Amino acid sequence: MKKPCLILLIRSAGMNTNWTVVEVLRHARHDWMNKLQLIKGNLALNRPERAQQIIEEIVLEAQQESRLSNLKLTKFATLLLTFNWENHFFSIDYDIIDQSFLNELDDDALYDWFITFFRLLDEAVVPYQDHQLSITIKDSHESAKFFLDFGGILKNDQLVLEWLESQNRIIMEHWDKEQFAFHIHF
Amino acid sequence: MKKPCLILLIRSAGMNTNWTVVEVLRHARHDWMNKLQLIKGNLALNRPERAQQIIEEIVLEAQQESRLSNLKLTKFATLLLTFNWENHFFSIDYDIIDQSFLNELDDDALYDWFITFFRLLDEAVVPYQDHQLSITIKDSHESAKFFLDFGGILKNDQLVLEWLESQNRIIMEHWDKEQFAFHIHF
């Protein structure tokens, strides 16, 4: 029973693979305007130091985005770059700490694994709550290690746990309904 | 002799019509980081008022971009939004003052006219100088009026002048080798 059910669930959440330039820029502009609003608000409140801090944070975030974009992993990078613009029940953030082994990865395999996991998680979380998935990417013993840390509430934790247990190369660090973390090597 | 030569020239300047999400975001990020750098620089020099002014200018620019993106003129909007990211011998800027008649325009016709003119201008200007083409769009008597104002140096002004004279719906406002301006109705 589990398998067909899982396939059905995974198919049900669509992801946009045909972004137009106008759409991409609309989303990017919206994000940047929100950041600018933060700087503007702090300047209006006569807090230039806080505004400067915010600028530093934005620069660091842009550097992460730039690192991700410079990898030769176009499908995977596009998935992460656009994920928060789509209708999902959780948000993602990412940190790329090392990147030497990342260019040797298989873009399609990486994309397939992540999109499947994202779709599964979309089905498994309690909708319309604040859920966050943090992805940290670093090198480890001549392979790339992805550390995934979820904070939120799962309504269907068994679905996620069983799927993760069926996957190779996973080391579970912590597991409960509101927080789980694991490593996966590629 | 003129016609085949013109066609050859127009064909020689390529424009990217297949932007990837990663490429679009790389360029947009680069532009935003430059703007942020201006804010940061002024804050570092203890000029919060100037930083606030710059933010206001960025907001106005983003509003123009947003107006352009909201028109149902995807090809034309994409051409203007991405033009300065490509290798051209002049830069463009645009102002959309009214937009009621713009949605009724033929996107393909508009795109074709502008891309032809842009290619022609790329061939006609002195390379590696600072040339600017400003495009102002507004309504006028139940049609859309485009005002194009060029500042720079033409090495081949006859090419441009002859082509413009061959076009319908153009009213020349000013013409010389370093500055010309005209209206075109669509």
Q: What is the pLDDT of residues B103-140, one digit of tens each?
A: 789 999 999 999 999 999 999 999 999 999 999 999 88
- Residue B8 belongs to a domain: no
Q: Is A58 on the interface with B (CB under 8 A)?
A: yes
- B157 is a domain residue: yes
Would B133 be classed as within a structural domain? yes
Residue B1 has pLDDT above 90, yes or no: no
The pLDDT, as a whole number, for residue B124 is 96
- Are B52 and A29 inside 8 Å of each other by CB? no
Residue A80 touches chain B, beta carbons under 8 Å: no
CB contact at 8 A, B183 and B171: yes
Contact B68, B96 (CB under 8 A): yes
Q: How far is A78 from chain B (nearest CA, A)?
A: 6
Best A15, A17, A19, A22 member to test B by mutation, with max B CBs in 10 Å, is: A22
B45 and B62 inside one domain:
yes
Give the whole-angstrom CA distance, residue B119 versus residue B184: 17
Looking at residues B63-89, what average pLDDT do you find? 95
Taking an 8 Å cut-off on Cβ atoms, the answer to whether A36 and B58 are in contact is yes
Given a cut of 50, whether residue B27 has pLDDT beyond it is: yes
Is the CB of B58 inside 8 Å of chain A's CB atoms? yes
Has residue B46 been placed in a domain?
yes
ipTM given for this complex: 0.88
**B83 belongs to a structural domain:** yes
- The CATH number of residue B33's host domain is 1.10.287.130
Question: So what's the pLDDT on residue A177?
Answer: 86
Q: Is residue B35 part of a domain?
A: yes
Mean pLDDT confidence for B16-23: 88
CB B79 within 8 A of CB A22: no
Nearest to B25 among A43, A52, A69 (CB): A69
The pLDDT value given to residue B16? 67
At residue B18, the pLDDT reads 86
What tokens does B127 get?
């390379």
B52 and B102 in a single domain? The answer is no
Q: Which residues of B touch A26 (CB under 8 A)?
A: 66, 69
**CATH code assigned at B134:** 3.30.565.30
What mean pLDDT do residues B132-160 have? 92
Same domain, B90 and B140: yes
Decide if B7 is inside a domain: no
Contact between B130 and B170 under an 8 Å Cβ cutoff? The reply is no
CA B113 from centroid of its chain's CA atoms: 12
Domain with B34 in it: 17-70
User: Considering chain B, what is the average pLDDT of its residues?
Assistant: 89
- B116 and B149 share a domain? yes
In chain A, residues with a C-beta closer than 8 Å to the C-beta of B55 are 36, 39-40, 43
**With contacts defined as CB-CB under 8 Å, which chain A residues touch B29?**
28, 62, 65-66
CB within 8 Å: B39 and A55 = yes
Per-residue pLDDT of chain A (186 residues; tens, 9 = 90+): 334 344 434 443 456 668 999 999 999 999 999 999 999 999 999 999 999 999 999 999 999 999 999 988 999 999 999 999 999 999 999 999 987 777 789 999 999 999 999 999 999 999 999 999 999 999 887 788 999 999 999 999 999 999 999 998 899 999 998 999 999 988
Residues of chain A contacting residue B58, judged by C-beta atoms under 8 Å apart: 36
Cβ neighbors of B43 (< 8 A, separation 6 or more) are: A48, A51, A52, A55, B51
Residue where a domain stops, chosen among B48, B70, B92: B70
Residue A142 is predicted with a pLDDT of 75
CB contact under 8 A, A43 and B48: yes
Q: Which residues of B touch A79 (CB under 8 A)?
A: none
Per CB-CB distance under 8 Å, the chain B contacts of A52 are: 40, 43-44
Enter the pTM of the model: 0.88
Task: Strand B179-185: give its sheet, edge to edge.
Answer: B91-96, B132-140, B143-151, B179-185, B170-176
* Residues A40, B28: C-beta atoms closer than 8 Å: no
Inter-chain CB proximity B69 and A22 less than 8 Å: yes
Give pLDDT, residue B6: 44
What SS3 state is found at A171? strand
Q: What SS3 string covers B108-125?
A: HHHHHHHHHHHHHHHHHE
**Number of structural domains found in chain B:** 2
